[in-house]
């Protein structure tokens, strides 16, 4: 952390099923607009569930390289908002993802669609598009982009970099659709975070990116600040999260940020809509915040974007920045009957809520006990 209270965020970019920019995504969230639609890239007759949160940029069947295209789009947006030259050189670009370009591999293996091994690594396209020579990819499940953020802030704090680009991306793969379809014997009608009648998660896709500085440059626009990031990997179970270790990550994020739970105005919940994850996150939040926090508003954007996996953490961070700037919290949709552990939480439901917001917490938790939490501050 620097003397000004965190690392300045000077640019953002994002794409998702509900919009092609941070502004469009936030507007859709506030309007309660869901990106859920009949699946476009796969044969629906193969699966029990037939709806996904896909980005509608295809005519007919699936095509290779979509994850890479999403990533380049989000980074281009972030650099433009930051007013930066697109030739990045040795500025670190840190990308969190669940599956990289696995969908391209599936198309190559099944249909013979040409695929170069070098295209599996985002670094190839980042070097071609942005001249980026210092790129790193982290495959840390659903918390990957906040893990990337943790390393990015460490690089800034140590003086190893003056500027970093942090991003997350995932495109839906047929293997993941197949696994989810077999695991969830009753197909979810939608994503219902923390609802008693939730049936599981539904996959989404997209990318998110932010540009951070070590210190704020004179005359440069600051959108907000990263105050602290904490990560842990408890390896408790392949899929079942451990509430105590999630709580540990939350507490450490506050310690690093110099904040306390009672300071937080908004929590961007991980909120996958699965039985295990929602229950564990709610228990961890009760442990740290208490059963009925008086001040803290909460929301879960996956109810409208689906689970965007590696992109989801920075997606939530960008939405938190916009919520603090515009003094409004987007709602969680599909939450009609809260589970007992979340009954005392002030989750914004059905319509947006106006609020004066200065500090936000972003939750991101993945398979294998990969937990990540970030604390971000509004620019005042």
Is position 270 annotated as part of the catalytic site?
yes
Q: Could you tell me if 306 and 17 are in contact, meaning their C-beta atoms sit under 8 angstroms apart? A: yes
CA nearest neighbour of 270 among 280, 262, 261, 260: 280
Annotate 33-51 with three-state secondary structure. Answer: CCCCEECCCCCHHHCCCCE
The string of DSSP codes covering 315-360 is HHHHHHHHHHHHTEEPPBPS-SSB-GGGTTSEE-BSS-EE----EE
Q: Determine whether 30 is an active site residue.
A: no
Sign of CA dihedral 253, 310, 55, 44: negative
- φ, ψ (nearest 5 deg) of residue 272: -80, -15
Is 307 labeled as catalytic in the residue annotation?
Answer: yes
Selected catalytic residue, list 30, 222, 254, 307 = 307
Instruction: Tell me, rounded to whole angstroms, the distance of Cα 12 from its chain centroid.
Output: 13
Check if the beta carbon of residue 196 is closer than 8 Å to that of residue 162: no
Token readout for 277 is 């994850």
Q: Which of 142, 236, 275, 315 is catalytic?
A: 142
- Tokens matching residue 344: 């005392």
Report CA 142 to chain centroid distance, whole Å: 8
Tokens 């190893």, residue located: 160
Structure tokens given for 314: 């920075």
CA 361 – CA 270 distance, rounded (Å) = 11
Q: Which of 30, 254, 270, 315 is catalytic?
A: 270
Q: Which are the catalytic amino acids?
A: 142, 270, 307
């Amino acid at each position: 952390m620097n003397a000004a209270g965190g690392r300045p965020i000077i640019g953002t970019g994002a794409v998702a099923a509900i919009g092609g920019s941070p502004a469009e995504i936030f507007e859709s969230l506030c309007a309660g607009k869901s990106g859920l639609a009949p699946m476009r890239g796969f044969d629906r007759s193969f699966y029990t569930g037939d709806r996904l949160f896909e980005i509608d940029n295809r005519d007919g069947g699936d095509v290779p390289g979509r994850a890479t295209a999403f990533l380049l789009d989000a980074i281009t947006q972030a650099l433009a908002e930051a007013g930066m030259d697109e030739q990045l050189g040795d500025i670190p670009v840190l990308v969190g993802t669940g599956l990289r370009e696995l969908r391209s591999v599936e198309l190559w293996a099944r249909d013979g669609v040409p695929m170069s091994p070098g295209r599996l690594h985002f670094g190839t396209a980042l070097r071609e598009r942005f001249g980026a020579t210092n790129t790193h990819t982290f495959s840390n499940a659903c918390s990957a982009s906040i893990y990337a953020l943790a390393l990015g802030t460490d690089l800034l704090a140590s003086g190893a970099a003056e500027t970093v680009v942090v991003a997350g991306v995932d495109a839906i793969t047929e293997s993941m659709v197949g696994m989810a379809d077999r695991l969830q014997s009753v197909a979810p009608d939608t994503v219902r975070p923390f609802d008693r009648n939730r049936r599981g998660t539904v996959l989404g896709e997209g990318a998110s990116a932010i540009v951070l500085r070590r210190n704020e440059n004179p005359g440069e626009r600051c959108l907000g600040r990263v105050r602290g990031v904490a990560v842990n990997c408890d390896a408790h179970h392949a899929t079942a999260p451990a509430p105590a270790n999630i709580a540990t990550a939350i507490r450490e994020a506050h310690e690093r940020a110099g904040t306390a739970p009672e300071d937080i105005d908004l929590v961007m919940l991980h909120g996958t809509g699965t039985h295990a994850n929602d229950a564990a996150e709610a228990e961890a939040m009760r442990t740290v915040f208490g059963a009925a926090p008086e001040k803290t508003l909460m929301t879960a954007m996956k109810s409208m974007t689906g689970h965007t996996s590696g992109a989801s953490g920075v997606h939530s961070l960008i939405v938190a920045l916009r919520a603090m700037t515009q003094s409004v919290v987007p709602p969680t949709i599909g939450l009609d009957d809260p589970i007992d552990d979340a009954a005392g939480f002030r989750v914004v439901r059905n319509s947006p809520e106006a609020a004066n917001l200065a500090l936000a917490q972003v939750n991101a938790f993945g398979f294998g006990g990969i937990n990540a939490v970030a604390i971000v501050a509004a620019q005042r």
